[in-house]
Amino acid sequence: MAEVSIITPAHNAENFLPETIDSVLDQTFRDWELIVVDDCSTDRTFEIASAYAAKDPRVRVLRNEVNSGVAATRNRGLEVASGDYIAFVDSDDLWLPEKLEKQLRFMKEKGVVFSYTDYQKYVTETKERGKVLRAPTKMTAKKILGNTAIGCLTVMVDRKTVGDFRMPPLPHTEDNCTWQEILSRGYVGYRLPMVLSLYRISDRSMTSDKSRAAKQQWETYRKYYKFSFVKSAYYFTKYAFHAVIKHI
């Protein structure tokens, strides 16, 4: 059993998955398992992940029978994960070599059960690093309702302490809803203030993506949390404020 289980959902990720897996293999902390769950890719994603698994037994590969979406795919990995700690990295994102070592040390030394770090935008076309994204120093179940600044690729959860968890079956905001559910158990999340992950973006990203994200966040308040219009508007205002700060 590994100390840290890393969950990677993958769908048609052949162009980026090797670099992502290599960034896990390059970790200075070695006691991990990487669970790659292929969500019915039509390219070479499954073959690429399987080739890594054949070379390193710490890499495990699963394949969904039907295309299930990112939440269900991460949950498939969570179901088989053996580690006391859970971390996430999507199939196009990257970790810096000391990510696991520094974050795990931070959690153990400080008694933290839910942590996250800074991360940096990584432009696909130029391979240049862009804006550094930072979340608040600490996060509570109430505060996170109006702030989506925690990057999934930066999160580490002490599952042995907080208990089992799953992501809700949402096509969007599923990660932030998961963090809110964990924190609602009475825990506080804490930030390790250093860049340890790279979040891949395209320099051709469109404004419509931000508009879509805003619409999805509104739907989360109204349909998932079932907030009233007034309460939804209150948290959406906070969300919008933090989103602007995040991207400027």
> Which range of residues forms the domain containing residue 168?
4-204
Residue 70: CATH number of its domain: 3.90.550.10
**177 and 218 housed in the same domain:** no
Whether the per-residue pLDDT at 246 is higher than 80: the answer is no
pLDDT for the residue 208: 46
**177 and 219 housed in the same domain:** no
**87 and 134 housed in the same domain:** yes
pLDDT for the residue 235: 95
**174 and 217 housed in the same domain:** no
**193 and 229 housed in the same domain:** no
Count up the domains in the chain and report the number.
Answer: 2
pLDDT for the residue 202: 76
pLDDT for the residue 55: 98
pLDDT for the residue 244: 75
pLDDT for the residue 206: 40
**129 and 20 housed in the same domain:** yes
pLDDT for the residue 128: 87
Q: Which amino acid is at 52?
A: Y
pLDDT in tens, 32-91: 999 999 999 999 999 999 999 999 999 999 999 999 999 999 999 999 999 999 999 999
Return d(Cα 232, Cα 208) in angstroms, integer.
Answer: 22
Q: Which stretch of 153-157, 234-238, 241-245 has the lowest confidence by average pLDDT?
A: 241-245
Per DSSP, 224 falls in state I
**181 and 91 housed in the same domain:** yes
**141 and 221 housed in the same domain:** no
pLDDT for the residue 125: 86
**124 and 14 housed in the same domain:** yes
**152 and 239 housed in the same domain:** no
pLDDT in tens, 104-143: 999 999 999 999 999 999 988 888 899 999 999 999 999 9
**Is 166:216 a contact under the CB 8 Å cutoff?**
no
pLDDT in tens, 168-223: 999 889 999 999 999 999 999 999 999 999 999 876 544 447 788 899 999 999 99
Annotate 219-238 with DSSP letters as a single string.
HIIIIIS---HHHHHHHHHH
| CA dist 12 → 9, 88, 116 (Å) | 10, 18, 27
Return d(Cα 229, Cα 217) in angstroms, integer.
Answer: 13
pLDDT for the residue 207: 41
pLDDT for the residue 247: 61
**168 and 128 housed in the same domain:** yes
**25 and 148 housed in the same domain:** yes
Q: What is the mean pLDDT of residues 218-233?
A: 97
Return d(Cα 184, Cα 106) in angstroms, integer.
Answer: 22
**Is 197:99 a contact under the CB 8 Å cutoff?**
yes
